[in-house]
């Protein structure tokens, strides 16, 4: 795909994700996709597509109104799309989740094949708690 096509794929992924359409978002990941959450929080680590789907269900389940992720900057080169984004969610524990991210997303064969997620890990622990 072209860099424009990759940016469209990634933009559509975040639109589906933010609308709570997780099945649609997950369908945009390749079957062998990996998602890595950086840091040392309870959520950090590298996940297969199936493991990420489970994590998404757990984290998404704690945000009854969903988690909005709004990209602010997208840059594409070759098979990579770099994104700066912000999130917003009201969590069932009464806290508000507002994080700032950088996502490096690698596209292959019109699917998202690899994601590296960089975020404020202290905020994750503050809102979601330690392991």
- Residue 48, pLDDT > 60, answer yes
Q: Are 96 and 90 in contact (CB under 8 A)?
A: yes
CA 29 from chain centre, in angstroms, equals: 11
Close Cβ partners of 22 (under 8 Å, ≥ 6 residues apart): 16, 53, 56, 57, 60
pLDDT given at position 46: 97
Q: How confident is the model at residue 119 (pLDDT cuts 50, 70, 90)?
A: very high
- CATH number reported for the structural domain that contains residue 32 in this entry: 3.10.450.50
Summarize pLDDT for 52-92 with one digit per residue, the tens: 999 888 887 889 898 999 999 999 999 999 999 999 999 99
Q: Are 86 and 14 in contact (CB under 8 A)?
A: no
How many domains in the chain? Answer: 1
Domain carrying residue 67: 3-128
């Amino acid at each position: 795909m072209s860099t424009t096509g990759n940016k469209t794929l990634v933009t559509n992924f975040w639109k589906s994700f933010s609308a709570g359409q997780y099945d649609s978002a997950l369908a945009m990941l390749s079957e062998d996709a990996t998602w890595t959450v950086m840091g040392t929080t309870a959520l950090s680590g590298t996940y297969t597509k199936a493991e990420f789907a489970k994590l998404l269900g757990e984290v998404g389940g704690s945000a009854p109104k969903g988690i909005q992720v709004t990209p602010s900057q997208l840059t594409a080169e070759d098979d990579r799309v770099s994104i700066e984004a912000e999130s917003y969610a009201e969590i069932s524990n009464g806290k508000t989740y507002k994080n700032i991210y950088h996502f490096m997303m690698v596209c292959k064969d019109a699917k998202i094949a690899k994601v590296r997620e960089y975020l404020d890990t202290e905020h994750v622990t503050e809102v979601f708690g330690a392991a």
